[in-house]
């Protein structure tokens, strides 16, 4: 039986008493034919294995190279060296898999993040990405724990759908038709009646609309799954495939929605700070080293852990969109013409505006509410002023928008009128309108981009470094 091993993380916290154990992992380094730094991914810390090289086959020693995988039997003893509490004195070493040092790209030296993206199938073996993806796992677990503790139902919304929840039209089409010679109707259009689903379909951009249906039965639900946007944005903040958490709650108004979202974000951060402290310390140090290479004006005002503690311990600022625009118009950045994009009531704020509010003005997360209806989705509840909707975005330092949500329009006549204004066909959305016809209630919900949350917690500057295999324009590797 192979799986009798003790994980490196557990070995490092064990009091040494000469006990016999089995460990398995990959070689990080092998020094002086005597000291193996072994890592199995359970922690960034390596276990030092001491080899009796004088009584070990030289042919075996040559095969202990960086990246090779080993099974080691040994005795756990107190370490005589600095930096570790225990050593494993090897009694038997078996090579599970060789690694040719001439070809293995992750040699023990510093590699750039750009290079590691090119070898994304191997980058998990580095300290930085080991920490990032253990934190990603912890955040995913904490998502489910947060909602389970509050009695929410985990709802699986469809990946393939015929609706465009956001109305933006940036869709990945799903079809079995021949793309070079699709069947056509008499007027020369593609005949989707002959397609697999008998109509145009696409990968989902959001599970919200289906989530609303479930909330009208279970009161409180959440979805957590992949979403897809065919948006040609080659930036550090955008992906074509990403994960979203979307709770939908009956009997909630906008304030209830904001309260839940703020509590949710703080819960996730607190969970990681409690369970992944070592990984956060690794990334905190990485960020400090990175900051040293930047001009002083671009350096972080807080360390990573300090920033996370600050977010958990302070209330988010809450302002209206109108107040946000006034702050921007009065800002030194606007008066000195430092904004690339115009500032005026009615604009859809750009990332530079959002980051100014959170990083320069308030210096903490900000919830902006009551946006102009003209650039918001049809399902958002219309306010009495006729100009704005009961929407809310949470803006985070270093990223900008991390959460987008709203109170949903529960009044059938108002919803139908808004759909007519936006040319959304009612006959295709009759199932959605039924929730307003039969027992409608005030309800609300939001979406949190999971990768942006991971970015915020890990301090990584590029969203491509917090998802295992990023899908971006002209890039679908691995």
Phi and psi angles of residue 284, each rounded to the nearest 5 degrees, phi first: -60, -45
CA distance linking residue 184 with residue 198, whole number of Å? 13
Sorted by sequence, the CB contacts under 8 Å of residue 64 that are 6+ apart come out as 27, 30, 36, 51, 70, 93, 95
How do beta strands 153-154 and 220-228 pair? parallel
Asked whether the CA dihedral 144, 148, 150, 154 is positive or negative, the reply is positive
| Among 188, 183, 170, CA closest to 228 | 170
User: pTM for this one?
Assistant: 0.94
- Enter the tokens of residue 158: 């469809």
Mean pLDDT over 246-255 rounds to: 98
Contact (CB, 8 A) for 449 and 441: no
Reported as a pLDDT band with limits 50, 70 and 90, residue 247 is very high
The pLDDT of residue 242? 96
Contact (CB, 8 A) for 117 and 465: yes
The pLDDT of residue 233? 82
Phi and psi angles of residue 190, each rounded to the nearest 5 degrees, phi first: -65, 130
Reported as a pLDDT band with limits 50, 70 and 90, residue 235 is confident
Domains of the chain: 8-108 (2.40.50.140), 125-170+205-465 (3.30.930.10)
Instruction: List 406's β-bridge partners, or say none.
Output: 391, 445
Phi and psi angles of residue 97, each rounded to the nearest 5 degrees, phi first: -155, 130
- Note the pLDDT tens digit of each residue in 41-89: 999 999 999 999 999 999 999 999 999 999 999 999 999 877 789 999 9
For residue 358, the 8-state DSSP code is: I
CA distance linking residue 87 with residue 95, whole number of Å? 20
| Number of residues that make up the chain | 478
CA distance linking residue 340 with residue 352, whole number of Å? 8
Reported as a pLDDT band with limits 50, 70 and 90, residue 164 is confident
Phi and psi angles of residue 157, each rounded to the nearest 5 degrees, phi first: -85, 155
H helices present in 382-477, as ranges = 412-421, 430-437, 450-458
- Enter the tokens of residue 181: 């010679």
């Amino acid at each position: 039986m192979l799986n009798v091993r003790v994980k490196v993380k557990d070995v490092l916290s064990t009091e040494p008493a000469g006990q016999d154990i089995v460990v398995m992992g990959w070689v990080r380094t092998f020094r002086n034919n005597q000291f193996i730094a072994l890592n199995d991914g359970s922690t960034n810390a390596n276990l030092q294995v001491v080899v009796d090289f004088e009584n070990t086959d030289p042919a075996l020693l040559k095969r202990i190279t960086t990246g090779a995988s080993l099974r080691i039997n040994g005795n756990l003893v107190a370490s005589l060296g600095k930096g570790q509490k225990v050593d494993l004195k090897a009694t038997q070493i078996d090579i599970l898999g060789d690694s040719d040092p001439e070809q293995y790209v992750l040699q023990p030296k510093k590699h750039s993040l750009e290079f590691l993206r090119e070898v994304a199938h191997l980058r998990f073996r580095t300290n930085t990405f080991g920490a990032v993806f253990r934190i990603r796992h912890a955040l995913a677990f904490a998502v489910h724990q947060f909602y389970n503790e509050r009695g929410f139902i985990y709802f699986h919304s469809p990946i393939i759908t015929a609706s465009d929840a956001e109305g933006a039209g940036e869709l990945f089409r799903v079809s079995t038709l021949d793309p070079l010679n699709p069947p056509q109707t008499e007027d020369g259009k593609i005949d989707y009646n002959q397609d697999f689903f008998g109509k145009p379909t696409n990968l989902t951009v959001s599970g919200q609309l289906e989530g609303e249906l479930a909330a009208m039965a279970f009161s409180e639900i959440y979805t957590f799954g992949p979403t897809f946007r065919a948006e040609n944005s080659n930036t550090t903040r955008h992906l074509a495939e990403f994960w979203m958490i979307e709770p939908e709650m009956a009997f909630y108004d906008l304030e209830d929605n904001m309260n839940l979202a703020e509590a949710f974000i703080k819960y996730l951060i607190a969970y990681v700070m409690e369970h992944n402290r070592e990984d956060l310390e690794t990334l905190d140090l990485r960020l400090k080293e990175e900051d040293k290479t930047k001009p002083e004006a671009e350096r972080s005002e807080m360390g990573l852990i300090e920033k996370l503690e600050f977010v958990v311990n302070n209330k988010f600022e809450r302002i209206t969109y109108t107040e946000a625009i006034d702050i921007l118009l009065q800002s030194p950045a606007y008066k000195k013409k430092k904004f690339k994009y115009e500032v005026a009531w009615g604009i859809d704020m750009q990332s530079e505006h959002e980051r100014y509010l959170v990083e320069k003005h308030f210096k903490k997360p900000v919830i902006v509410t009551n946006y102009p209806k003209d650039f918001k989705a049809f399902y958002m509840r219309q306010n009495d002023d006729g100009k704005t909707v009961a929407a809310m975005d949470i803006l985070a330092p270093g990223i900008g928008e991390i959460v987008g949500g709203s109170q949903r329009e529960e009044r059938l006549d108002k919803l139908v009128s808004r759909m007519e204004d936006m040319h959304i066909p009612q006959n295709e959305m009759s199932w959605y309108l039924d929730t307003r016809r039969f027992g409608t209630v005030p309800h609300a919900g939001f979406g949190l981009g999971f990768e942006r949350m991971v970015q915020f917690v890990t301090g990584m500057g590029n969203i491509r470094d917090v998802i295992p295999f990023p899908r971006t324009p002209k890039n679908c590797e691995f």
